[in-house]
Amino acid sequence: MNTQSHIFGPVPSRRLGFSLGIDLVPYKTCSFDCVYCQLGRTTNKTIQRREYVSKKLIMKELEERLTKGEEIDYITFSGSGEPTLNSKIGEMIRDIKRMTAIPIAVLTNGSLLFEVEMRDELRNADLVLPSLDAVKQNIFEMINRPHEGLLMEKIVEGLKKFRKEFENEIWLEVMLVKDINDGVGDVKQMTDVINEIDPDKVQLNTVVRPPCESFAMPLDPVKMKEISKMISEKSEIIASHDRRAQTAYEKEIEKEIVTLLKRRPCTIEDISSFLGMHRNEIVKYIEVLEREKRVMERRHGNQSYLVVSEDEMRPM
Ligand code: SF4
């Protein structure tokens, strides 16, 4: 089990196979506060770029990890918030490319791509996966709850410019939330903008439990297919595959989470510190346990707790 604080995994990822995550910002530093975020509410909403986590520390931890010879499909900048807020991301990508041939992916909300320096810093990545959930300012504000300095129009411009300048693949993710951005008119507008951006792939996703806000509900598979047809020939629905079939899914960890929750309700943060694992890893297990209705979410004030189901509490 990895207990280092800024490198996590490899975690089985829907899109990237076995992904070794690098966390460049403290929990939870982001320019958005998306209603569907699995990490909880943003506590530091900012557009200020700085070296939130030291490059030196990250490079040292990564070097150690790479000597283990684990199966890694991608080194992925993701984690506890928006990775492009770290002002050293460009230098880190450049130095990692010198260190290993493993491809580098960057998961970003795309909010800073309107800045020329930002686009330039990502140019050595092998794959960039920006998200775009709205094209109208009011829907953007509803779903992504952005920092007040951010305008949808500028973000779209940034994505278009990035497409023109970036030579490798761009996979654009659209997160669909029931009754917020799934209206026919909104999807049509989004389609036009996506065609102008022209990413290599469009990946449609919907809310996975537990989201930040309980009102953020997923779309059913039929609606997802309808929207996929409307959006683009390049669009695909990101299948919710069986995490258990992957070797990085450890039954022992699942058992430890259930045992802990039988003792008391916990937040994802509680489970993460108890097991010494990164939140993003814990979220993968919770996703499986929630789908199987063994674990569920309970709200208490602003806080979201996980509890085990009654069936799970019954003695076998
Ligand atoms: S989903 Fe991503 S962009 Fe949205 S709040 Fe969470 S970390 Fe930030």
CA distance 226 to 231: 9
Binned at pLDDT 50, 70 and 90, residue 244 comes out as: low
Residue 261's H or E segment, with its range, is helix 251-263
| Overall average pLDDT of the 223-231 stretch | 93
List, for residues 138-188, the tens digit of each pLDDT value: 999 999 999 998 999 999 999 999 999 999 999 999 999 999 999 999 999
List, for residues 16-67, the tens digit of each pLDDT value: 888 899 999 998 999 999 999 988 899 999 999 999 999 999 999 999 999 9
Token couple for 86: 């770290």
CATH of the domain spanning 245-316, picked from 2.40.10.10, 1.10.10.10, 3.20.20.80, 1.10.150.20? 1.10.10.10
- 305 within 8 A of 267, measured Cβ to Cβ: yes
**For a pocket test of ligand 1, which of 33, 41, 84, 109 has the largest count of ligand atoms closer than 8 A to its C-beta?**
109
CATH class held by domain 7-241: alpha beta
Place of tokens 């049509």: 188
Binned at pLDDT 50, 70 and 90, residue 2 comes out as: very low
**For a pocket test of ligand 1, which of 25, 30, 42, 208 has the largest count of ligand atoms closer than 8 A to its C-beta?**
30
Token couple for 239: 């299948």
Name the pTM for this structure: 0.83
* Residue 208 pLDDT exceeds 90: no
- Residue 4: per-residue pLDDT: 44
List, for residues 108-140, the tens digit of each pLDDT value: 999 999 999 999 999 999 999 999 999 999 999
